[in-house]
Structure 1
């Protein structure tokens, strides 16, 4: 059954949950990982979000991810193959379409890694933009409550716009 899209008010519990999960993940992926970052809306103070923790792991080489599949499975993460995203490896904790944690593994300092961090930091540093994003999400939930794909697709132009602004400011 398709889970409806729900935006919850921000809670500092998300940060605590991330910190706990990061320690567990460190124990599994160890030295093969360069960084573990809290990304997505749950990582931005004050921003409402779907109650799913997004975690990015940065590695030197995505080939190493095959070594993580079995150990991550032991703690409830299922590897989900997405051929349309060759630059990312994705794991979900929780049921299909109702995950509690999404684990995104990227090449550290690669374009996709950098975009995730840049977007998060821009929202953290620009509360006005964060508020706009929150309002957009609330509006989209009204339209696409039962259609997670359309909800996500309709956030994309806003995200791209913010990334462009962030990159310009970074270069200034």
Structure 2
């Protein structure tokens, strides 16, 4: 069994108040309902396009870059948004990485220093969620573990797919509830990941 530090094993949940406090500007989609669609085999190629642009803009500042989230799991229905984790030495000094990312057309939407220095940028049509983390943040490790587990465990992939589709319907009038509502099932899957 792999040994993980406590910071990786203990998943934190943001409160709605914390999420609101971290918001910088407005979401482009506003209060439109969440759309979860069948897996699109073009998603890995879209990630590669984004990755190349980001790597070109940030160069050697990047410690790591990964395709994460549901679009990174073949066969998993997802919102058609590519999630990317970028690890830097430190996210505190935004002047080192925000200007080159803004030059690509990305804009800062979340600043969450309380959550391992997390920053999130999006593009204007919200096809990309770019998560910027400090090198030692535990959350990107969890992202990779969850992705890799779902890639190799079809029962949990099916459970997560059903959950996402059900929640997209049930949160139609309150789309802001979608992400927080997934936490129960995500935590159940993580119990199996860490027990394996």
Alignment TM-score > 0.5, same fold: yes
2:132 aligned partner: 105
With over 3 angstroms needed to count, the CA separation of the structure-2 counterparts of 1:45 and 1:22, relative to structure 1, is same
Q: Would you say 1:119 and 2:119 are equivalent positions?
A: no
Aligned-partner SS, 1:80? strand
Contact 1:44 1:123 in 2 (8 A): yes
1:94 aligned partner: 124
Matching of residues 22-171 of structure 1 within 5 Å: 22-83=51-112, 85-87=114-116, 88-95=118-125, 99-169=126-196
Q: Structure 1 residue 84: deviation in Å?
A: 7.1
Q: TM-score, normalised by structure 1?
A: 0.89
Structure 1: segments with no counterpart, 5+ residues: none
Superimposed CA distance per residue, residues 10-62 of structure 1 (whole angstroms, 9 cap, x where no aligned partner) = 01111000011101110011111111100000000000001111000112222
Q: TM-score, normalised by structure 2?
A: 0.79
Structure 2: segments with no counterpart, 5+ residues: 1-29
Contact 1:5 1:147 in 2 (8 A): no
Q: Structure 1 residue 168: deviation in Å?
A: 2.1
Q: Structure 1 residue 81: deviation in Å?
A: 3.4
With over 3 angstroms needed to count, the CA separation of the structure-2 counterparts of 1:65 and 1:121, relative to structure 1, is farther
* Cα distance in 1, alignment partners of residues 150 and 95 from structure 2: 33
Range with greater deviation from structure 2 (141-150 or 46-55): 141-150
Contact 1:5 1:146 in 2 (8 A): no
With over 3 angstroms needed to count, the CA separation of the structure-2 counterparts of 1:109 and 1:163, relative to structure 1, is farther
With over 3 angstroms needed to count, the CA separation of the structure-2 counterparts of 1:61 and 1:31, relative to structure 1, is same
Range with greater deviation from structure 2 (22-31 or 140-149): 140-149
Aligned-partner SS, 1:94? coil
Cα RMSD over matched residues?
Answer: 1.6
* Cα distance in 2, alignment partners of residues 107 and 168 from structure 1: 27
Q: How many correspondences in the alignment?
A: 166
